[in-house]
């Protein structure tokens, strides 16, 4: 257990060279079984624990990957992180976790810190990729994969779902239920996923059904419960023109929407239908249970990490840009 036992002590104890000890520790097959045993015994007896830092210096591999997320206390990113961690563990990697708060300067700073720590790779998640960041990514000495994050040119490894088509499907399901006016509560438009993809999906579904686009049906939030409530209340002020079907960009906002409606004396789904996005655990913790687009965050995390290991192991890779399937989970906040 003592931590000042070095490979050299083991070598002396087992009467071999440190190279041989190293071979045993690393499972190198070129060791005679009898010496292997001798060394293993010495290791057990001394309680030797290899120093990963020294190992990292000598081998230039740290078996550690950096993970940058906006905010781990958000259930959404926490799920992602768990997916990453699980497959990291599977491949014997550890995770250095960092919160960026979506702050571009902090993102760059964190990237540099991680590179300084010689991580073997990085998984990044953020709403918007500042061009400085992309430049740094492209010159990075270690591979970087984007999780649930789009980059303009699709030239970085990334794992996403098809946000446009997901939004399209959600809005279409509302239209199919007979709605002519659909409310859309989304996150900041400068984030590509909201501003381009989800928004495009919303519009294309309207167009497809020959419904007019009306700017006042679109309200911006910041992903939170409160912003969802606020957005819905704003919509409610439209009076008769208020859409009776709402597509919210996150589950948390959808909960806010539902509660805003209930607080105003409306029934969901009888008077208003609402559909969320992400399928976090929250979705089943509300009455009525929330119909939502499932974005499999855990899977995105897991697949991102798997993709990273493939790159690290130089395995054959079909595509750098993987798109995971989405679907709509029908629950009780919409009429089926």
Partner DNA sequence: CCCTCATTGTAAAACGTTTTCATTCGCTAA
Partner DNA sequence: TTAGCGAATGAAAACGTTTTACAATGAGGG
Binding site for DNA (CB under 7 A): 4, 6-8, 15-20, 22-23, 25-26, 29-32, 34-36, 48-51, 54-55, 57-60
> Any contact of residue 25 with its own copies (CB under 8 A)?
no
16 contact, one of DNA, its own copies, none, CB 5-8 Å limit per kind: DNA
CB atoms within 10 A of CB 172: 19
Omega cis (within 30) before 288: yes
Helix (H) or strand (E) holding 163: helix 163-176
15 contact, one of DNA, its own copies, none, CB 5-8 Å limit per kind: DNA
Stretch binding its own copies (CB under 8 A), from 18-26, 55-63, 123-131, 168-176: 55-63
35 contact, one of its own copies, DNA, none, CB 5-8 Å limit per kind: DNA
Q: State in angstroms the smallest separation of the CB of 114 from DNA.
A: 15
CB atoms within 10 A of CB 6: 16
Cα–Cα distance for residue pair 253/186, rounded to 1 Å: 9
Cα–Cα distance for residue pair 64/303, rounded to 1 Å: 17
> Any contact of residue 320 with its own copies (CB under 8 A)?
no
> Among 15, 37, 117, 325, which residue interacts with its own copies (rule: CB under 8 A)?
117
DSSP code at position 238: T
Closest CA to 69 of 3, 126, 154, 137: 126
Q: Are 253 and 280 in contact (CB under 8 A)?
A: no
Of 6 and 99, the one with the shorter C-beta distance to DNA is 6
Q: State in angstroms the smallest separation of the CB of 123 from DNA.
A: 24
Q: State in angstroms the smallest separation of the CB of 40 from DNA.
A: 12
- Site for its own copies, residues 212 to 241, rule: CB under 8 A: 225
> Among 97, 209, 220, 242, which residue interacts with its own copies (rule: CB under 8 A)?
97
CB atoms within 10 A of CB 205: 24
- Site for its own copies, residues 284 to 303, rule: CB under 8 A: 284-287, 298
285 contact, one of DNA, its own copies, none, CB 5-8 Å limit per kind: its own copies
Q: Are 231 and 221 in contact (CB under 8 A)?
A: yes
Supply 24's token pair.
Answer: 């045993």
> Any contact of residue 124 with its own copies (CB under 8 A)?
no
> Any contact of residue 312 with its own copies (CB under 8 A)?
no
Q: State in angstroms the smallest separation of the CB of 43 from its own copies.
A: 13
Stretch binding its own copies (CB under 8 A), from 26-34, 78-86, 185-193, 240-248: 78-86
> Any contact of residue 85 with its own copies (CB under 8 A)?
yes
Q: How many helices (H) and strands (E) does the chain have?
A: 13, 12
Beta-carbon contacts of 23 under 8 Å, excluding residues fewer than 6 positions away, are: 30, 31
Q: Are 318 and 160 in contact (CB under 8 A)?
A: no
Local structure of 268: helix, strand or coil: coil
> Any contact of residue 51 with its own copies (CB under 8 A)?
yes
Q: State in angstroms the smallest separation of the CB of 118 from DNA.
A: 9
Within 239-288, where are the H helices? 251-263
> Any contact of residue 27 with its own copies (CB under 8 A)?
no
Cα–Cα distance for residue pair 196/247, rounded to 1 Å: 16
Q: Are 94 and 67 in contact (CB under 8 A)?
A: no
Cα–Cα distance for residue pair 63/92, rounded to 1 Å: 7
> Any contact of residue 144 with its own copies (CB under 8 A)?
no
Contacting residues toward its own copies, per CB under 8 A: 1-3, 49-54, 56-57, 62, 64, 71-75, 78-79, 81-82, 85-86, 89, 94-99, 112-113, 115-118, 136, 139, 141, 225, 252, 255, 259, 262-263, 281-282, 284-287, 298
């Amino acid at each position: 257990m003592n931590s000042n036992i070095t490979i050299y002590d083991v070598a002396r104890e087992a009467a071999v060279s440190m190279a041989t000890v190293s071979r045993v520790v690393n499972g190198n097959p070129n060791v005679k079984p009898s010496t292997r045993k001798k060394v293993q015994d010495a290791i057990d007896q001394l309680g030797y624990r290899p120093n990963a830092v020294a190992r990292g210096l000598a081998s230039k591999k740290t078996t550690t990957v950096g993970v940058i997320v906006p905010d781990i206390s958000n259930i959404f990113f926490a799920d992602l992180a768990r997916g990453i961690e699980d497959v990291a563990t599977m491949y014997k990697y550890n995770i250095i976790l960092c919160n960026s708060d979506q702050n571009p300067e902090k993102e760059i700073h964190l990237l540099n810190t991680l590179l300084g720590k010689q991580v073997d790779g990085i998984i990044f998640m953020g709403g918007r990729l500042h061009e400085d960041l992309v430049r740094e990514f492209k010159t990075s000495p270690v591979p970087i994969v984007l999780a649930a994050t789009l980059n303009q040119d699709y030239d970085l490894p990334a794992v996403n779902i098809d946000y446009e088509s997901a939004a399209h499907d959600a809005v279409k399901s509302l239209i199919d239920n007979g709605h002519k006016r659909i409310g859309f509560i989304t996150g900041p438009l400068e984030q590509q996923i909201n501003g381009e993809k989800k928004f495009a999906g919303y519009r294309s579904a309207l167009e497809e059904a020959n419904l007019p686009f009306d700017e006042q049906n679109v309200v911006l939030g910041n992903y939170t419960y409160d912003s969802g409530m606020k957005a819905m209340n704003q919509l409610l002020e439209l009076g008769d023109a208020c859409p009776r079907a709402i597509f919210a960009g996150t589950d948390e906002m959808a909960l806010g929407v539902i509660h805003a409606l209930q607080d105003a004396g409306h029934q969901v789904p009888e008077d208003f239908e609402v559909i969320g996005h992400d399928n976090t655990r929250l979705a089943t913790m509300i009455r009525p249970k929330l119909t939502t687009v499932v974005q499999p965050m855990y899977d995105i995390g897991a697949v991102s990490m798997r993709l990273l290991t493939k790159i690290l192991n130089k395995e054959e890779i079909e595509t750098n840009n993987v798109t995971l399937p989405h679907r709509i989970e029908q629950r009780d906040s919409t009429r089926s």
